[in-house]
Structure 1
Amino acid sequence: MNSKIVLIDGHSILNRAFYGLPDLTNADGLHTNAIYGFLTIMFKILEEEKPDYLTVAFDVHAPTFRHEMYEEYKGTRKPMADELRQQVPVIKEVLKAMGIRIIEQAGLEADDLIGTLSKRCAQKGMEVSVISGDRDLLQLATEQVKIRIPKTKQGRTEVEDYYAQDVKERYQVTPTEFIDLKALMGDASDNIPGVPSIGEKTATKIITEYHSIEEAYAHVDEVKPPRASKALKEHWDMAVMSKRLATINVDADFPYELEEAKLGNIYTEEAYAYFQKLQFKNLLQRFDVTAPSNQVEDAFQEVKDRKEAEAIFAAAKGADEIGACIFKDTQNVLPLFAGQAGIDGIGLCFSKKDVYCIRAGQGIELSWLLEQLEGVAKDAGRFAMFDIKEALEHIRIARQDNCFDVTVAAYLLNPLKSNYTYEDVAREQLNLIIEDKLDAWMKACYEAYTAYAASGILWKRLKECLMDRLFMDVEMPLVFTLYDMEVNGVRVEAEALKYYGDQLGAKIVELEKDIYEEAGENFNINSPKQLGVVLFENMKIPGGKKTKTGYSTAADVLEKLAPDYPIIAKILEYRQYTKLKSTYADGLANYIREDGRIHSKFNQTITATGRLSSTEPNLQNIPIRVELGRLIRKVFIPEDGFVFVDADYSQIELRVLAHCSGDSHLIEAYKEKKDIHRITASQVFHIPFDEVTDQQRRNAKAVNFGIVYGISSFGLSQDLSITRKEASKYIEDYFTAYPGIKIFLDDTVKHAKEMGYVVTLFGRRRPVPELSSSNYMQRSFGERVAMNAPIQGTAADIIKIAMTGVGRRLKEQKMKSRLVLQVHDELLVEAYKPELDQVKKILKEEMEQAASLDVPLEIDMHTGENWYEAK
């Protein structure tokens, strides 16, 4: 059997992967989609081909003969996107780590290298497979040389295969004639200009008849159609240049030893480390290796003896630094302990030589083990753990001032990530690669060690970034406040929730009937495809937008049609009711615990701006703009003898904008305590304050809040149903009225472009990588983020300070009242009725004094027998 070689066009496949896959980034902010796609395609090819040899060819970013020739005619080639460029050196390093031969040569393009190698190898009697997204390489096809072109269809990679005969069947020309075909029709993707006004069909007709451009030119007066004859005469120089551009050099001179391309085991330990760093977890399954061993493991010990454990805790007492974790061994068959179900032991580290996993079991009671951990936590100089809030379910923290939540610290330093595991932190801060296939006790040691070793590094970085006070004074106290809120939960009246769901169900059935009657047929209202056909084909409603999968029935499309077509208004109403029923009426019922309360989880390491989010369930997305959505709040009720107090910041983001911008007009407007939206309307529309209409006030309100979010004239025109020109004038007049805001927003974007991040009043940083994107839409999004993040982030910091202050005072004064919910700018307290006045005083003081701004912070506060009444 003949030996086989696979030749991969590196830049071509990277480029295809880059534009074919959604953007991916790893923990370091490196774009990785092109690398991931390249490797996926390469693995697929290797599994199919099973070659003996493999070589990947890359272009060198230096002028080549073809570059220079093209630039004479067309100027410079389109530059490579920055997000793709940064991935090129990385894929080369990964391939080298896998032992794969890479070839690149100054003055030669990758297809010249591939063309020459394919000829050399074919002459040796080898089978050759060339992998490229560039169809120019079809000219290399022979009976021995196969050209394989990967294509992405519906998220899956398919490969088109071409031997010489396949090229002839597909394009009606031989591989050699394919060069002439390209010379006439051109190829914009490969910077081949071709001959103006000659397309693929005409070019194919000419080459199948004359077989080359030279022969066609020799009979140019006979070439049909006449316009093609005329074009070939007038642009013969372009045809000649295009042919030279399209012709691959198959006799290039460069050094290459075939044996260096011999394919061995590509799944090396070095490659494994790269895949870990790139966070290609599903690709790691291909490796049958362990991660490179870490010397720190030499200090790891598994402890099951009570006396040994006592000695360890004694040695740890008073340590400057403690790293710890609470762990569960899913393989462990030890009995579960009452009150601590699922906990098997702890990880503990207090020096690089003292790293332990202490197991609960025979001789070591879990309750004793956790008590010992509480003791060392109290006496430690710094007590570090990942996700301390989760640990509070199992241990009592006597001190908060020495606690260091590694998860929160890592989040502050890079708020764009989706998670902050100990494996990630170990890799990023300690340069440790932790393999997945470890015993549970080893993982516990690693987590404790990483908490111990990384906390000091993270603290130093926080101080360098001026976020140390934000961490210690805002985020760390918040950990304990959120835990208390989760434990408190909020009471839900199950019967009222069921009644609410039944009402929704009845309304849904009624709407279905009305919709079917107006449509004249029954269909699946929840099917966009069926709905599109009914509305835009059967009912002939104008305004339908046809896509590849059918008509768009998105909300923005239907909302424009709703005023004129009652059926569409009812469909939108139907969607609203079904969403309310499934998500809230039915969904919330699943979260009511035995105590009759919902204990939602509050997350402080999810959003990039610093805002909190809630899950299991999400209580922050309960609709408030429509009455039916607000009614769901009626099912949330206080305990008997208690009442709800709801306090909500008044226009906090606009007040923050006034302070940050220093705009004297906006600051003065707030100090006068007048209607800010009416004042804005008065100044923007140049009319007396008392003559502002309700519509003008609503428009001004949209501009006020839109400015905070970096709204464009297009966005404002959509919101107000006005022309872009009118919207642009509104924004222009707004900035004339409040010039300080324009200066602030411009300076903020400028700072973000220079530094790569924006900052809140409290020092929170929000990176804005989109500003360096080569994509205009991404850059525009980045500018909006840069404008909004300091405002929204500062507001988030203020509410965090306020809620921590409220929670602390309720506990310090040993009150029965408790903080139960936070929804963006709103706090909900379940107040013991005899303490009601005191609760109101605490809320007002803590919320209005949470920050010192140039404008006063104000709150709206209400009480009620349910959340609806209190709001």
Structure 2
Amino acid sequence: MSKRLVIIDGNSLVNRAFYALPELMTKDGRHTNAIYGFTTMLFKLLENYAPTHISVAFDLKAPTFRHTEYGDYKAHRKGMPNELREQMEPLKRLIDAMKIHRLELEGFEADDIIGTVSKEAEAEGFEVLIVTGDKDALQLTSDKIRVLITKKGISELEEYDADRIIADYGLAPLQLIDLKGLMGDKSDNIPGVPGIGEKTGIKLVKEFGSLENLLNNLEEVKGSIRQKIEENVQMAMVSKRLATIVTHMPIEIEFDSLLLEDFDFKEVSMMFADFEFTSLIKKLGAGHHTEQPETEIKSENLKLDMDSLPALLEQISGQGHMYFKCISKKGNIVDKNIVLLSLTADGSKVYHTGDEALIERLGGLLESEEVKKYGYNLKEEYVALRPYGINLKGMAFDIEVAEYLIDSAGSNYSHESIAGKYLSGTLRSQEELLGKGKTLRSAEAVDEAELREYTGGILSMCAQVKPLQEKKIVECGMERLLYEVEMPLVEVLGSMEYEGILVDQNILMQLREEFSLTIAKLEEDIHRFAGEEFNINSPKQLGVILFEKLNLPVVKKTKTGYSTDAQVLEKLSGMHEIIDLITEYRQLVKLKSTYVDGLLGIVNGKTGRVHSTFNQTITTTGRISSTEPNMQNIPVRLEVGRKLRRVFVAKEGCLFADADYSQIELRIMAHICDDEKLKDAFMKGQDVHTRTASEVFGVPIEEVDKTMRNAAKAVNFGIIYGISDFGLSKNLNIPVKEAKTYIDSYLSRYSGVKQYMESIVEYALENGYVSTLLNRRRYIPEVKSNNAIIKNLGKRLAMNTPIQGSAADVIKIAMVNVFRRLKAEGLNSKLILQVHDELIVEAYENEQSKVEAILREEMENAMKLSVPLDVDLSSGKSWYDTK
């Protein structure tokens, strides 16, 4: 096998990574973007170039011989930012842990180490690849030495060899040093000859061969160029020496020590977990030998049949718990879609079946409250089992939900990511199992042995991770949140998904027709005002009409031309009739495509309902979100948007009972801040915005007008989100100074709020996180950032999270309690929707009064606060009617 050495300019690559990637921080505030970028590039190199030997060269802080010769060498360079400096030692520890050779020598730069090692390696018969962002290294290229220059941050590499240098510059690689002697190098503060640029420099080097030969034959150079060189002979020679990479450093190189060695998978994966690089763990083996043990995430996969069933049931019943997972094919939510059901008592022996009769035979076990169910994404199992007549009970621990609580700011709760974080093994992802895009296949097309191995790995992982997560949950004081709120909520959300919400498709078709006619009329009017027909949806064509034909003032430009975004149109509003028409046109086009056409495309053909997916582990605040359709996003600010709610209707014999918390976040703020004036307003049942206006503007309550109330409302809600005086001025369209006066006046009168805002930011700075009333924890590394914009974001998150997160806790408790009460009282009415602070029950007409009483009682008593929780109740045949 040929010998291939990859030698990396460590400082160059780490700097490129640091500036190319956004600020990344661990939960406890350590910066990691440079380490992450360097590591991803390292994996790419290992995978794409398969080196046999590897080394990383670093500069040391000590001055080099170049600084001694020329005091201004690199003098203009800024010092290393603290955010980067703090990453250097952890990165070096990671490189050492990966058994990658590291080279440093005082008095010499990484370039010199690279130059010496690459030339000696070439002499030893190696193929050499130098990876750097510094084109100085191009002078080292030869038949055996190539230079890979980083482009576009660190995502791409441009390859140079001696032939490419000749093609690009018309010079041999070593002549690039002569060129630098003449033209200098601004990045390194190498002076060169003032007035000599690259074009002239290349011409001179081509003509004379070297700087020395040029200086010896200056009489052949004509005009001002000769004079410039004559006046800077010494500087040219110094510049050449500064630009010359040393290739004969006083070091002994044992190339065996540069061999790409095996490393300890567990040690490196633990370091990745510490850096919170869980997504990179799967790449640890890419192009690299590792001392990775046979994965610890393994199970014995067995067929479940009538012979093996009794012993398994006895074992599970005896210990009172089980782990299980279903794999389903794509299909209608109300159909039997399970391809494979896998279950195990302890994760070691996993039993599998795809037999429908056997799955139904397991119904008693699956519906038993006494047997606790553990798994990953149990809501998926709940929904998959409903068409089999099985109501899954006893869902006691979900690995995904627990991980979400442990790290609410995480971006990936996939089973393979969780496995990578906690265990020294890797799991196949769903994408790797089923493919994606054109290669996507349905679960029933996958070989059953593959499916067994897949689910067996997940269940083995669950059995090993559960005790580790349980420990973390206890450490964070989140036992009540997990076991009494989030886990019971799994069943509630599963039920809501399965029940769905009925859509009146006739109204939807009417709206489509209505919207289409209005859009066509708007299109006609816009073209009339423009004086010509054009594509309104083309920003380029619209920009020409607005700013060239109609001569409206240009607000903002983009790389491709004029900006015509919503903010631009808002600023142009009132300057021409066409602007408001375009705004209305865009709103209607979006409503029609997203909600009217979109809803028609996802109405279930068998149920006539839309079955939204409710996401429990998405938002960092604890709020539930929904997709396909996103029920949280049905627009209600415009009347035309509110009309969309008419399509969501209760089934025959039912009404919607709609219960909405009144100002829940302000009430929670009053409780958390313990502000007497704010609490007093709620205790007296006063309109809190009117009371706030009275306080802020110093007028009696009865003299508060609409403008004052609106300003107070903006301040009240703005305070929750840590609004700035600039933000408030924009919201209210008032001067910044006036907005500042409002905020200062508010905080001086509501001293409890001011004290809370200051103390919660201090807490976040000290602890790295903030918590809700139920100890839901959110880590806020942003608050420790040195970037003022990011730091201020962190402060706002610290102020808002306990309030918004506690509101999420309250609504979740209410959902669980309402769901349980409806069942406990034997009612047929179903909780079918949650949107923000609102719960909707599809209530049978003869049960309506009971349902409304349950909603009010459970929502108002979901959590005991120092102020009352107030609920607004309404009912109607459609969602629109309830409002």
TM-score, normalised relative to structure 2: 0.83
Aligned to 2:443: none
Deviations 1:750-804 (A, max 9, x none): 2112211110011100111223344433322222211111111001111111122
Aligned to 2:437: none
Correspondences of 1:190-201 after superposition (within 5 Å): 192-193=188-189
Of 343, 353, 360, which residue of structure 1 is paired with 2:339? 343
Cα distance, 1:704 vs structure 2: 1.5
Aligned to 1:474: 485
Distance 1:73 1:288, change over 3 A: closer
Aligned to 1:421: 414
Q: Output the CA distance in 2 between the equivalents of 1:318 and 1:768.
A: 44
SS in structure 2 at match of 1:585? helix
Cα distance, 1:412 vs structure 2: 0.6
Distance 1:653 1:87, change over 3 A: farther
Distance 1:59 1:461, change over 3 A: same
Deviations 1:259-293 (A, max 9, x none): 44467999999999999974249968966999741
SS in structure 2 at match of 1:302? strand
* 762-771 vs 117-126, which moves further: 117-126
Aligned to 1:767: 779
Q: Output the CA distance in 1 between the equivalents of 2:845 and 2:773.
A: 37
Aligned to 2:571: 560
* 13-22 vs 454-463, which moves further: 13-22
The percentage of counterpart residues that share the same residue type is 38
2:410 counterpart letter in structure 1: K
Aligned residues of 1:357 and 1:444 also touching (Cα < 8 A): no
Correspondences of 1:384-399 after superposition (within 5 Å): 384-393=374-383, 394=385
Cα distance, 1:511 vs structure 2: 1.3
Aligned to 1:333: none
1:317 counterpart letter in structure 2: S
Cα distance, 1:510 vs structure 2: 1.2
Of 817, 822, 825, which residue of structure 2 is paired with 1:805? 817
1:311 counterpart letter in structure 2: A
Distance 1:170 1:479, change over 3 A: farther
Aligned residues of 1:490 and 1:820 also touching (Cα < 8 A): yes
Cα distance, 1:669 vs structure 2: 2.6
Deviations 1:608-641 (A, max 9, x none): 1100011121111001111111111111111222
Aligned to 2:683: 671
Aligned to 1:294: 295
Aligned to 1:616: 628
Residue 454 of structure 1 pairs with residue 465 of structure 2: yes
Taking only aligned residues, the RMSD between alpha carbons, in angstroms, comes to 4.6
Correspondences of 1:313-462 after superposition (within 5 Å): 313-327=313-327, 340-350=336-346, 354-361=348-355, 365-374=358-367, 378-380=369-371, 382-393=372-383, 394=385, 403-435=396-428, 439-462=450-473
SS in structure 1 at match of 2:620? coil
Aligned residues of 1:273 and 1:433 also touching (Cα < 8 A): no
Distance 1:474 1:282, change over 3 A: closer
Cα distance, 1:169 vs structure 2: 5.5
Aligned residues of 1:848 and 1:858 also touching (Cα < 8 A): yes
SS in structure 2 at match of 1:307? coil
Q: Output the CA distance in 1 between the equivalents of 2:334 and 2:645.
A: 36
2:492 counterpart letter in structure 1: T
Aligned to 1:732: 744
Cα distance, 1:89 vs structure 2: 4.3
Aligned residues of 1:488 and 1:599 also touching (Cα < 8 A): yes
Distance 1:129 1:366, change over 3 A: closer
Q: Output the CA distance in 2 between the equivalents of 1:534 and 1:120.
A: 65
Aligned residues of 2:171 and 2:202 also touching (Cα < 8 A): no
Correspondences of 1:110-509 after superposition (within 5 Å): 110-121=110-121, 128-138=128-138, 140=140, 146-152=146-152, 158-159=158-159, 165=166, 168=169, 174-180=175-181, 186-187=186-187, 192-193=188-189, 248-261=245-258, 278-280=278-280, 292-294=293-295, 297=298, 300-327=300-327, 340-350=336-346, 354-361=348-355, 365-374=358-367, 378-380=369-371, 382-393=372-383, 394=385, 403-435=396-428, 439-509=450-520
Cα distance, 1:866 vs structure 2: 1.5
Cα distance, 1:467 vs structure 2: 0.3
Aligned to 1:540: 551
TM-score, normalised relative to structure 1: 0.84
Aligned residues of 1:319 and 1:379 also touching (Cα < 8 A): no
Distance 1:174 1:550, change over 3 A: farther
Q: Output the CA distance in 2 between the equivalents of 1:204 and 1:567.
A: 53
Q: Output the CA distance in 2 between the equivalents of 1:67 and 1:796.
A: 61
How many corresponding residue pairs? 845
Cα distance, 1:95 vs structure 2: 8.4
SS in structure 2 at match of 1:392? helix
1:434 counterpart letter in structure 2: L
Aligned to 1:830: 842
Deviations 1:526-581 (A, max 9, x none): 22233233322343321332222322222122211122232222211111101100
Distance 1:450 1:511, change over 3 A: same
Cα distance, 1:722 vs structure 2: 2.9
Aligned to 2:714: 702
1:679 counterpart letter in structure 2: R
SS in structure 1 at match of 2:862? coil
Distance 1:509 1:292, change over 3 A: farther
Cα distance, 1:224 vs structure 2: 7.7
Distance 1:53 1:764, change over 3 A: closer
Distance 1:439 1:21, change over 3 A: same
Q: Output the CA distance in 2 between the equivalents of 1:329 and 1:832.
A: 34
Distance 1:181 1:815, change over 3 A: farther
Distance 1:610 1:341, change over 3 A: same
Cα distance, 1:346 vs structure 2: 1.9
Q: Output the CA distance in 1 between the equivalents of 2:282 and 2:551.
A: 48
Cα distance, 1:602 vs structure 2: 1.3
Cα distance, 1:582 vs structure 2: 0.8
Aligned to 1:573: 584
Aligned to 2:109: 109
Q: Output the CA distance in 2 between the equivalents of 1:451 and 1:123.
A: 53
Residue 635 of structure 1 pairs with residue 647 of structure 2: yes
Cα distance, 1:524 vs structure 2: 2.3
Cα distance, 1:585 vs structure 2: 0.7
Distance 1:125 1:366, change over 3 A: closer
Aligned to 2:735: 723
Aligned to 1:79: 80
Q: Output the CA distance in 2 between the equivalents of 1:27 and 1:755.
A: 10
2:629 counterpart letter in structure 1: P
Aligned residues of 2:653 and 2:845 also touching (Cα < 8 A): yes
* 30-39 vs 834-843, which moves further: 30-39
Q: Output the CA distance in 2 between the equivalents of 1:734 and 1:66.
A: 63
**Greater RCO (CA < 8 Å, at least 6 residues apart):** 2
SS in structure 2 at match of 1:779? helix
Distance 1:370 1:400, change over 3 A: closer
2:665 counterpart letter in structure 1: E
SS in structure 2 at match of 1:525? coil
What runs of 5+ residues in structure 1 fail to find an aligned partner?
331-335
Q: Output the CA distance in 2 between the equivalents of 1:170 and 1:831.
A: 84
SS in structure 2 at match of 1:791? helix
Aligned to 2:531: 520
SS in structure 1 at match of 2:722? coil
Deviations 1:364-411 (A, max 9, x none): 733224444545xx443x431222222123178889567222221111
Aligned residues of 1:327 and 1:347 also touching (Cα < 8 A): no
Cα distance, 1:468 vs structure 2: 0.3
